[in-house]
Amino acid sequence: MTPANEGLHAAAAQGAADRSRPYVRVRGLSHEFDLSDGVMSRLLSGSRPRVLRAVNDVSFDIRQGETFALVGESGSGKSTIARILAGLMAARAGKITIDGHAIAANRARPAALLKATQMVFQDPYASLNPRWRVERLIAEPIRHMPAAARTERVHELLRLVGLDPLDSVKFPHQFSGGQRQRIAIARSLAANVPFLVCDEPTSALDVSVQAQILNLMRALQAQLGLTYLFISHNLAVVRYMATNVGVLYLGRLVEVGPAERILSAPRHPYTRMLLEAVPGTGLPRATVQGEVPSPITPPPGCTFHPRCPLAEDICRRQIPEFRDGVACHLAHRAEGAGKGP
């Protein structure tokens, strides 16, 4: 073990002592975006306020050292949740607890969140300042450390993510996409924060480079006891990375459970549809119609019913409650009757 990583290891050991308590706990997280016209033009044209509910009463837990993946199509709210958890924006409502510290999610840029989480972004071309050298980029979260210790720590981190300490004097444009993502990961580890929010960290990369980054992230997790919130639309990547999976549809969680179960025996028809849509698996496809409806005017009842091949009358009228890991009238009924869906 290197001295520079002792902080992380200490945090991991502390968490390991209390495995039963989730490391990250999210309760009733909601967020909406106001898309209304300005007050004046609303008065003049008589248009109504328009509100987009991007995240709607989302709750989940992540245990220490595990990966929780959020999956869903565009507009499902997965990136909004990532940004809220990373402290980049405030939610409208909800409570977040990280390592036992409760944080009200509705405060603008809660300082506690900024300290308790680090984020890895999708596009390593946009997330690294092109005018900064690698040392300054990686050392940004620890810029108040004494200079000598800081340089030592940067070299440590570069070795940790598979780069050369000599790279610290280079600029981002001297690196390939995969190497840049390694720099971004090194930066997120700099301040010994053991919880990373990763928003599609490999979507912008080629498959051979994606494999390098995914393997690196798994190795770092095992080595340092990191906890990940992993956002992805790629179910195969999620299968490789995640311990537990939450499936989002129009801002609501429709199914949560162990990755193995969700991706082999899904209970919600939407999860099943996502799984069948993965190309090249040879799974038979129930023909799913249409695309995600506008989140500004979501359908009544279960928001998935217009696309669901199994929809019944109740699905059109009543929003299914989230119970036993799934939000679906039919799944609840099948389980109530004592058999699987």
Q: Does 18 contact other proteins by CB under 8 A? A: no
- Taking CB under 8 A as the criterion, the residue among 55, 137, 237, 328 binding other proteins is 237
d(CA 1, CA 39): 59
- Min. distance of Cβ 163 from other proteins in angstroms? 13
- Count of residues near other proteins by CB under 8 A: 39
Closer residue to other proteins in complex, CB, 123/276: 276
Evaluate whether 63 touches 23 at the Cβ level (below 8 Å): yes
Q: Does 260 contact other proteins by CB under 8 A? A: yes
- Taking CB under 8 A as the criterion, the residue among 102, 104, 277, 296 binding other proteins is 277
From residue 63, alpha-carbon distances to 3, 43, 184, 229, 261 in Å are: 26, 49, 24, 11, 18
- Min. distance of Cβ 146 from other proteins in angstroms? 36
Q: Considering only the stretches 4-12, 59-67, 115-123, 268-276, report the one whose residues sit in contact with other proteins under the rule CB under 8 A.
A: 268-276
Can you give the three-state secondary structure of the chain, one letter per residue? CCHHHHHHHHHHHHHHHCCCCCCEEEEEEEEEEECCCCHHHHHHHCCCCCEEEEEEEEEEEECCCCEEEEECCCCCCHHHHHHHHCCCCCCCEEEEEECCEEEECCCCCCHHHHHHCEEECCCCCCCCCCCCCHHHHHCHHHCCCCHHHHHHHHHHHHHHCCCCHHHHHCCHHHCCHHHHHHHHHHHHHCCCCCEEEEECCCCCCCHHHHHHHHHHHHHHHHHHCCEEEEECCCHHHHHHHCCEEEEEECCEEEEEEEHHHHCCCCCCHHHHHHHHHCCCCCCCCCCCCCCCCCCCCCCCCCCCHHHCCCCCHHHHHCCCCCECCECCHHHHHHHHCCCCC
Q: Does 138 contact other proteins by CB under 8 A? A: no
- Min. distance of Cβ 110 from other proteins in angstroms? 32
Closer residue to other proteins in complex, CB, 64/210: 210
The residues pairing with 69 across neighbouring beta strands, listed in sequence order, are 230, 245
Closer residue to other proteins in complex, CB, 31/307: 307
Q: Considering only the stretches 55-63, 124-132, 149-157, 267-275, report the one whose residues sit in contact with other proteins under the rule CB under 8 A.
A: 267-275
- Min. distance of Cβ 121 from other proteins in angstroms? 19
Closer residue to other proteins in complex, CB, 64/212: 212
Q: Does 228 contact other proteins by CB under 8 A? A: no
Closer residue to other proteins in complex, CB, 151/243: 243
Closer residue to other proteins in complex, CB, 178/320: 178
- Min. distance of Cβ 287 from other proteins in angstroms? 8
Site for other proteins in 33-72 (CB under 8 A): none
Site for other proteins in 279-318 (CB under 8 A): 279-281, 285, 288, 291-292
Q: Does 243 contact other proteins by CB under 8 A? A: no
Site for other proteins in 181-210 (CB under 8 A): 206-210
Residues that bind other proteins (CB under 8 A): 73-74, 176-178, 206-212, 214-215, 218-219, 233-237, 239-240, 260, 263-264, 273-281, 285, 288, 291-292
